[in-house]
Amino acid sequence: MSAHAASHAEHGHHEQGFVRKYLLSTDHKVIGLQYLFTGMLMALIGGFTVYVFRMQLAFPGEEVPLWGRVTAAQYNALVTTHGSVMIFWVAMPVLIAAFGNFLIPLMLGCDDMVFPRLNRLSYQLFLLSALILIASFFVPGGPFGGAWTAYPPLSADPAYNATPWGATLWLIAVALEFVAFLLGGINFITTAMNSRAPGMKMFDVPIVIWMIVLASLVFMASVGPLIAGAIMLLFDQRFGTGFFNPATGGDPVLWQHLFWFFGHPEVYVVLLPALGIVAEVMTTFSRKKLFAYRTVIFTAIATSIISFFVWAHHQFVAGIDPRMAGLFTVTTLIISVPIAEMMFIYIATLYGGSIRFTTPMLWALAFIAEFLIGGVTGIYLGAAGSDVYFHDTYFVLAHFHYTFFPIAFIATFAGLTYWFPKMFGRMMDERLGKIHFWGTIIAFNVIFIPLFLTGAGGDHRRIFDYSLFPELAGLQGLRVLATIGLLVLIAFQPIFIYNFINSMFRGKVAGANPWRANTLEWAAPSPPPHGNFPEMPVVYRGPYEYSVEGRDEDYWPQHVPPDDPKRPAEQVA
Amino acid sequence: MVFRTLVVALALLFAAPASALACPVCGLAGPGNNGWAYLAMTLMLSALPVGILGGVLFWVYRRTKEAEEAAEAEQSRRASAAPTRRQAGVEAVR
Amino acid sequence: MPMALVGEPPKRRAAVPSGVLGMLLFVAAEVMFFAGLISAFTITRAGAPPLAWSLPGGVVLPAVETAFNSIVLMMSGVVLVVAHWRLRRGEDAKAARALLAATILGAAFVLLQGREWWGLLSRGVTMQTSTLGAFFYLIVGTHALHAACAIVGLGVAWWRLRRGALPAGFFYTAETFWYFVVAIWPVIYFRVYF
């Protein structure tokens, strides 16, 4: 064998090593980071599309830098892509899959998921779905232009949506993605049931794990009808069936029935992990026990159950039976009770604590403040009477973004900045983190408060060019203001990206437990090696024993044995 | 007074909902004859997850509790029998 | 009690085998999938104009023939229960025979259903000619696909049992899925064929 061939073989072997380690890994941390980075890259696509169509709304008919003139069909495709990417390829993978995969085995004190190969398959399916969605940008007709809710007949007939291939690829991508999260969810729940560290009882499990598990349960129970509907829609698009076509005895409203059965629980699927992340960050930086740990769990369980009884409020103007509208108004207003309760619990956790305003803590506090605005404006939309007026206006859009932006970005930033030292073994820069925080939060409010006003003023949300509606011309100033807010928001994001990448390689080296936190992941080295713990931890107490009286330290990790066997954890707490 | 208002409100809700159709365009098409089907299937879909997952989780919860109780009984028996093996137990787990 | 906690930490244990728990959760999601199909069928049927809800050319769905197929499927489920008992009692050879019988009965169901499809297709009933036909092929076809996957699982279990290398978890997981396939069928049969 020649020297050249030998070095080539060595090179090939090295390549395989990289592939094995980073692409075909069954290690939960690698899979979690794969989900995280894929989600962050998809967020760039979602962010770019919103930039283009907001520019069109503020300056209709003008050239948009980096894009050009926006046509009506392109506008539809951009809005659809923004919505579906941000919900299905950013919020879901980052909040559930990335944090779930990274945190569940670490916080439960085990070496990996119960089904590691299923976990890898889950990520591969997810990556495939993302690639299919990206591929739809390059097919004739461009990406799907039938809105992320894909109502037929718009989505079923290429004559209406003008995107014959984009529509089909979109459906396949969404269905694949759901299968991926189904596999991931089964893994999360089974792991949480069967792989807890010795001594860890159900009520010693950190809130964020409870929340991710509950969210996975809600997802699994709600996704079936949508997959059924997606298959029917696929047949309508490609095989000439008429499931949603009234001319052949089909029913177009049926799609809404199947879609929203999943669509509304989906809100809680992403909300619960966000609430969990906030709970972890808040207790650590309040140096205080989480107020009413068990109540949080029971409240979350109640929310999960009620979340199956609210979905028809999306159909108040779809011609549903008014008796049903009455019922769903009541359930929709009821579900705000447990959520409000959770907000009060978090505020009570802050009360009397010694609060540290680190970057993650700022994000967690902002989550409470911003999500409250989203929750309160939801009341107007949950009541059938007022919803008839607000339906399909920018008021709905602003409400939705006041719930989803805190969930998908504020809580994610809280979680990322909090667990960054664990993920990469280095600290992020606090000063840059705070600049990024204030820029993002202020810009976010500048975007969406004007949109509440335009919505109440009558702006319908599916309009491509408002200059065609002279009676709405007075609202143009607010639309421009919202777009300026968006530009500022986007301008602040490179700070985060720089801080993230720079800190990965050049940040201050973090110890195993830089925040002096209690939960088990901080018992592992940062970043945790394959297998996580040098020796498997044993749990002696609940996750939130901060500032316990009679101890020198203000924290008491779950895995540290009680100092004095005569004074075990139960008596001191 | 409150009671009477409630009765009237409920009577209105259940007796005369057709005229309160929220969708003005749907009135033109006439009330569909699948209203009951939507109502029934909505209730079925909403109740099913609670039933199924409730059942599965209750079963798992019961088995977990049984296993935990059995383990605790085992432990206290062993702890009272041989308290000096405390350290050995920790080693075994490792 | 706290003393014991300090001294001898409880071991990591699984109250329910991971495979079975995972499969139960998957089955829960599958039940919701079929519930979505059934609810779509019910709503469309209730809302369709009377004439639109029929197969072309006066063809009627073969409910009687399918009743026989259904009995074959139910028997397969019962035989699998027998296999379970025998396996629990350690009678591996007998259990393998019952497991094989259950697998063959299940495969017979799928083949009989396929013959029925062949007859309908040859009489011009396709997914495009009527919405009832479209729903029929969608729902029954989805069930048949699940049945085929489960039969492969049972077959693998039989093969491994014969070679004496069947992990209990694998058998229980495949078994759980087959019970689901068997149990969901009567619901589909009475909803779609009548």
Residue C36 lies in a domain: no
Model pLDDT for residues A393-404, shown as the tens digit of each residue: 999 999 999 999
Q: Distance between CA atoms of A484 and A369, rounded to whole angstroms?
A: 22
Predicted confidence band at B21 (pLDDT cuts at 50, 70, 90)?
Answer: low
Tell me the CATH number at C106: 1.20.120.80
Q: How confident is the model over A115-161, as pLDDT tens digits? A: 999 999 999 999 999 999 999 999 999 999 989 999 998 999 888 88
Q: Is the pLDDT of residue A46 over 70?
A: yes
A388 or A481: which leads in pLDDT: A481
Share in percent of chain C as helix, strand, coil (round to 5)? 80, 0, 20
Single-letter residue type at C178: W
Give the mean pLDDT of A196-211: 92
d(CA C26, CA C21): 9
- Which of A19-23, A245-249, A284-288, A289-293 bottoms out in mean pLDDT, i.e. has the lowest? A19-23
Considering the domain boundaries, does residue C6 fall inside one? no
What pLDDT sits at residue B12?
Answer: 73
The DSSP symbol for A509 reads B
Q: Which residue among C10, C36, C44 places its CB closest to the CB of B71?
A: C10
Say if CB A255 and CB A151 are below 8 A apart: yes
Q: Which residues of B touch chain C, with CB atoms under 8 Å apart?
A: 32-34, 36-38, 40-41, 44-45, 48-49, 52-53, 56, 59-60, 63-64, 66-68, 71-72, 75-76, 78-79, 83, 85-86, 89-90, 93
Say yes or no for a CB contact (<8 Å) between A257 and B35: no
Question: pLDDT at residue A546 above 70?
Answer: yes
**Residue A146 is which amino acid?**
G
Q: Is the dihedral of CA A169, A174, A180, A186 positive or negative?
A: negative
ipTM of the complex: 0.91
H or E stretch including A380?
Answer: helix A359-382
**C155: exposed, middle or buried (Cβ count in 10 Å: 0-12, 13-18, 19+):** middle
Query: How far C22 CA lies from chain B's nearest CA (Å)?
Result: 11
Start-to-end C-alpha separation, chain B: 70
A520/A542 Cα distance (integer angstroms): 10
If pLDDT is split at 50, 70 and 90, which confidence band does B30 have?
A: very low
Residue C171: the pLDDT is 92
pLDDT greater than 70 at residue B24: no
**Closest approach of C122 to chain B, Cα-based (Å):** 33
**What pLDDT, on the 0 to 100 scale, is given for residue C1?**
31
Query: Closest Cα to residue A484, out of A42, A106, A36, A59?
Result: A59
* Pure H helices in A318-410: 322-350, 359-382, 384-390, 394-405
Q: Where are the alpha helices (DSSP H) in C89-167?
A: 92-122, 131-162
pLDDT at C16: 81
Structure token digits, residue A402: 């006041």
In this predicted structure, the answer to whether residue A345 has a pLDDT above a threshold of 50 is yes
CATH entry 1.20.210.10 includes domain A21-572 = yes
C100 in a structural domain = yes
Q: Is the pLDDT of residue B87 over 80?
A: no
Whether residue C44 is contained in a domain is answered as no
- C34 within some domain: no
Q: For residue range C65-116, what is the model confidence (pLDDT) as tens digits?
A: 999 999 999 999 999 999 999 999 988 899 999 999 999 999 999 999 999 9
Number of domains in chain C: 1
What does the pLDDT average to over A413-420?
97
pLDDT of residue C5: 37
Mean pLDDT of A506-520: 94
Q: How many residues does chain C have?
A: 194
Q: What pLDDT is stored for residue A405 in this prediction?
A: 96
Of the candidates A295, A284, A566, the residue with the CA atom closest to the CA atom of residue A417: A284
Distance of CA B71 to the CA centre of its chain: 29
Domain-embedded: residue C18: no
pLDDT of residue C42: 93
Judged by CB atoms closer than 8 Å, whether chains meet at B17 and A318 is answered as no
What is the rounded distance in angstroms from the CA atom of residue B5 to the CA atom of residue B23?
26
Average pLDDT over residues A484-502: 97
- Dump pLDDT digits (tens) for C125-169: 888 888 899 999 999 999 999 999 999 999 999 999 999 888 888
How many Cα atoms within 13 Å fall on the side-chain side of residue A542? 20
Question: Is C72 part of a structural domain of the chain?
Answer: yes
Which conformational region is residue C17 in: left (phi greater than 0), alpha (psi within -120 to 50 degrees), or beta?
A: beta
pLDDT at A571 exceeding the cut of 50: no
**Residue A564 pLDDT:** 52
